[in-house]
Every structure is written in structure tokens, then in C-alpha cells.
Amino acid sequence: MRRCVCPGSYDPVTMGHVDVVERAAKLFDEVVVAVLHNPEKLGTFPVPERMRLLKESLGDRPGVRVVEYGGRLLVDVCREVGATAVVKGLRSGTDFAYELPMALMNRHLSGIETVFVPGDPRYGHVSSSLVKQVSAYGGDVTGLVPDVVRDALKQRWANGG
């Protein structure tokens, strides 16, 4: 059984994330989508809401499950679920500069490898933070995030953020 972890804040999940998970599912028998805390980012959606949106966005894909691992090291999560690799998408050289030290640190800590997949150019401009900003000011994010996420964002801003 070849298993990987797709880690992230997923605050909220975007079409770029969905694409990476779908592609990881073609390379591995099981994909564990792990919602982890990023100490450098203030959250918008509470973790249970991020999980709900992820589950609804990914549907019932065989071999894909969504888990929450608050306050843990990614390498400990990988060890616990029996993953042999971490999979992450890269939109640009800026992403690579951000991801490379984490990949090296994770390999230093546990030997786990990180597999990078090139982000689909259709979503090269899509990030959770930009989508939130556009949506907060009334812009249309249809097609950049799953419809459930677009609706959850609208609802959030309607309720005062």
C-alpha cells in the first residue's frame, strides 16, 4: 500500500488543492489530506468548517480521506498514518522557495520525501488568501474554488467576516 499525505491549512480549499489531491490519487493507493496548523497564518475558517468544505469538495473519491492533525509535526502525522511521501503542488518559483526548506527539514527529521507536482496553470493565480480577499470585496470566485466554498465565503462575509 503506497500512501501519501497532502498537508495544508486549507483555509479554505481551492480548485488548485483539489487538482493536486486528484493527481496524487493517481500516483498513490491512498491520499491522506491532512489539515494542519500553520503558525504563520491567522485562520479564517475554524478547522471543522475547513474539514467539511474539503470533504464536500472532494466527494467520495476512493482512496482519499480527510483528517485533522492540530498542533502536530507533519512528520509525526506521516509516521502515524504510514505515509511514504508528502505531495505538494508548486505554482511558481516563489512556492518552491517556500516549500524547499520545509521539504528538507521534513527529510532531515524523518527521512520522508516530498513529491512536488506542477500546479495546473489554470490555477496559477489561485491561493486561499487571494480568493478570500477577492470574495470579501464582492468579487466572483466561481471556478477558482468549489461552489460550496464560494457559498461559504459569501455567507461568512454576510455575517460580518
Contacting residues toward ligand PNS, per CB under 6 A? 7-9, 36, 38, 41, 73-74, 102, 105-106
Closest separation in Å from C-beta 41 to ligand PNS = 6
Q: Does the annotation count 108 as an active-site position? A: no
Closest separation in Å from C-beta 75 to ligand PNS = 6
Check if the beta carbon of residue 120 is closer than 8 Å to that of residue 16: yes
Residue number with CB closer to ligand PNS (94 or 159): 94
Residue number with CB closer to ligand PNS (27 or 105): 105
Residue number with CB closer to ligand PNS (40 or 140): 40
Q: Is 65 helix (H, G, I), strand (E, B) or coil?
A: strand
Residue number with CB closer to ligand PNS (9 or 135): 9
Where would I find the beta strands (DSSP E) of the chain?
3-8, 30-36, 64-69, 85-90, 113-118
Active-site residue (options: 9, 57, 128, 135) = 128
Query: Measured between alpha carbons, how far is 102 from 80 in angstroms, rounded to an integer?
Result: 19
Closest separation in Å from C-beta 65 to ligand PNS = 17
Q: Does the annotation count 41 as an active-site position? A: yes
Query: Measured between alpha carbons, how far is 13 from 16 in angstroms, rounded to an integer?
Result: 8
| 85-90, strands of its sheet edge to edge | 64-69, 30-36, 3-8, 85-90, 113-118
Residue positions annotated with a catalytic role: 17, 41, 91, 128
